[in-house]
Chains A and B, each alone.
Chain A
Amino acid sequence: MSAVDPQDKNPKIEQAGASDESIQQVHSILLREKPEPEESHSPMPLFLLGFISAMVLMVAIYFVHNSGGLSQSFSFKQAAMVYDERFDPKNAPAANAEVKLDPLVLGKKNYASVCAACHQPNGAGVPGVYPPLAKSDWANGSEELIIRILLHGLTGPIKVAGADFNSTMPTIGPGGYNFSDEKIAAVLTYIRQEWGNNAPAITTEKVTEIRTKTAVGRATAWTSAELEAIR
């Protein structure tokens, strides 16, 4: 087939191959086809104009209200550091604003993020692997012992609520999860008030006292034997 000027619309010229023989051999499949598609020129429905205008308006308003500071500052550089779409530079909080939280709320949050993985969200532990905290003699018992466990960790055999465990609990305090004294007090208070436990709360000051007392010379995790000696 040789090239044809695309503007040439005369079907009779240069239909190389479309000879009389081949026309008669055009398969019935081709014969029964409808003609090649065309476009009609029906006008656009009027409501479309209204619809499109409404969309443009709504979307513009949406963008301005959720631009993460861009529509206020018009600086892409500044807006590149904003990840909250509601951010308004005029109401920005102070750089180091601290928020005071209720100890039980703080304790519950910290329990969920650190302790629940082993001791489970319901405090039941994993039989044979991680001791329970719910209705546990240790959790409801002496604060001297459990504060030490969180500060330095616990290793080796231990009997909790009549069952034997032999595992390793990591350090929750400095050197491990780095919980502050306030966080340790909060999470222990939460544990002692949840799942049917009813033991006295633990204060930040008590945690600080024990931490400073054991600060010298305590590098390794406690064993239950050592803790029993303190009891």
Chain B
Amino acid sequence: MASVPNLVASFDPATSPDLVKRAELSEIDASTKIPALFFLGSAVLWLLVGTAFALISSFKLHTPNFLGDTEWLTFGRTRTAHLNAVIYGWSVNAAFAVAFWLMARLSRSVLRHSGLLMIAGAFWNIGVTIGIIGILAGDSTSIEWLEMPLYATPLLFVAYALIGAWALITFRFGKSGHIYVSQWYLLAALFWFPWLYSIAQIMLLFQPARGTVQALVNWWFAHNVLGLWFTPIGLAAVYYFLPKVLGKPIHSYYLSILGFWSLALFYNWAGVHHLIGGPVPAWVLSAGIAASFMMAIPVIVTGINHHMTMVGSFSALKYSPTLRFIVFGAVSYTLTSLIGSLMADRQVSEVVHFTHFTVAHAHQGMYAFFTMVMFGSIYYILPRILLKEWPSAMLISVHFWTVAVGITVYVVGLSICGIKQGLEMNNADIPFLSTTVPSVVTNTIPYLLSRSLSGVLMTIGHLAFAVNFTWMLLRPRAPQGTTPTLFQNPPEMEVAR
């Protein structure tokens, strides 16, 4: 990864445009340091909290008496606390950090008014904390993805307003004429999210719509948080780090445009596929299913774009942690989206709806895609803002392998479980619950156990990550001339030594 000629050239006081650009980037990175650390540190803490609730919930599903006497830890609450901690705690904090680091770099503008961001971050995290405590205390709204009680959500609004204002200012001051593809995705995400959240809050909590119009609002909102907030930020990160780490351009600008606009058009409509078979007009379900099928277009287009960029450089996966996590994420994105399009088909939905297959799919999207991309991004960003290297390649390796194997076992296990569960549920000859003959519920238990096992693996990975992260924060600043923490040393490195 170290390029020997540049190292030598750096000691030449005569400025070259390339060097000036790098100095500029260095300034930009330095300006993002405090806010990025705040959001990333919060993100890692929420990751650990969310993982703890995940383990508790997973154990409870096959061992229901586990912590069964404690009201605030009842499954309905721990599962909800897990979701909100990993979505609004870990994922959003990581998304904010990565988004504004990317925005600053790509608009080639130093991050101004970082105080704004810090206040926003404080409001956000206080809001989420109060929200989750409220959920555990029994104040959940029971609206999926919107469970935090009304006394917590205004804090989130304030936080977002500040971040939105900041984003506009930064973009306005940007110097680059050409808007790179990642920036379209980031701008879109930053615009879409507050509208989704506000409309959902108004039409579900402040002025609830009548009857199942609520369900339409709920799933338009929840699916779009995935598709119009997390997916664009994840893709923005892939579109930046993939070419950056490889030193190659993205394969096709035209594919980028097509991918972006088809995603914007179709993803918006797909959310109602969560209601197939349900008490809503059949035409709107068919429209959502049609849009879900059409999602194959942006997914395949983006997949081609990423793949053609990678072609010829797959060996770099041996060395770069960032690349490994990012590529794992990008491949998972393609896979999970195509499976999602399949799931929208009515005949398929008839089997997998209401089953653990949906849970597997949700984790494939939020974890195997989004979280892995965030991990990769953090592995790249942190050395540049702290001006230190990751302390332990071994911990990165442990992190990668435990979570990669963990999420694979998770998704495969629960997918098989869900298909079996759905087929059996649709066969009235198989009892729903029985201890004497095979039943729908008892047949799921071995897979629920495998999910707990995968959860333990992923917890180990998260702990390795958190330890490495903290160690890096605390270790002394590196002197000039450091080497990157890689899985292995690529051949050029050995020459440089």
Contacts and interface: CB of A to CB of B under 8 A. Distances in A.
Do chains A and B make direct contact within the complex (CB under 8 angstroms)?
Answer: yes
Given A11-B20, A44-B255, A62 B289 contact: yes
B24 A18 contact: yes
Interface in B72-101: none
A87 B173 CA distance: 56
A82 B293 contact: no
Interface string B250-278: 11111110100000000000000000000
B342 interface: no
Contact of A32 (B3, B110, B239, B287): B3
Contacts of B243: 37-38
B282 A84 contact: yes
Contact of B240 (A37, A51, A58): A37
Interface string A1-23: 10110111101100101101011
B280 A83 contact: yes
Nearest to A109: B428
A24 B14 CA distance: 10
Q: Among the interface residues A39, A48, A51, A122, which one has the most CB atoms of the partner chain B within 10 A?
A: A39
Interface of A: 1, 3-4, 6-9, 11-12, 15, 17-18, 20, 22-24, 26-45, 48, 51-52, 55-56, 58-60, 62-63, 66-70, 76, 79-85, 87, 112, 121-122
Given A15-B24, A26-B19, A29-B387, A82 B281 contact: yes
B13 interface: yes
A30 B293 contact: no
Contacts of B11: 24
B22 A30 contact: yes
Contacts of B290: 59-60, 62-63
B250 A39 contact: yes
Nearest to A3: B173
B22 A7 contact: no
Contacts, number: 196
Nearest to B428: A112
Contacts of B301: 48
A177 B478 CA distance: 78
Contacts of B482: 27-29
B363 interface: no
Contacts of B112: 1
Contact of B7 (A22, A32, A44): A32
A13 to B, nearest CB: 11
Interface string B12-24: 0101011111111
B27 interface: yes
20 contacts: A1-B27, A6-B175, A12-B15, A12-B20, A15-B20, A15-B23, A17-B27, A23-B13, A27-B387, A28-B2, A30-B25, A32-B484, A33-B244, A36-B21, A36-B25, A39-B252, A56-B294, A68-B283, A81-B281, A112-B428
B480 A39 contact: no
Given A4-B175, A7-B177, A55-B296, A18 B2 contact: no
Interface in B158-211: 173-177, 180-182
Contact of B26 (A1, A27, A45, A60): A27
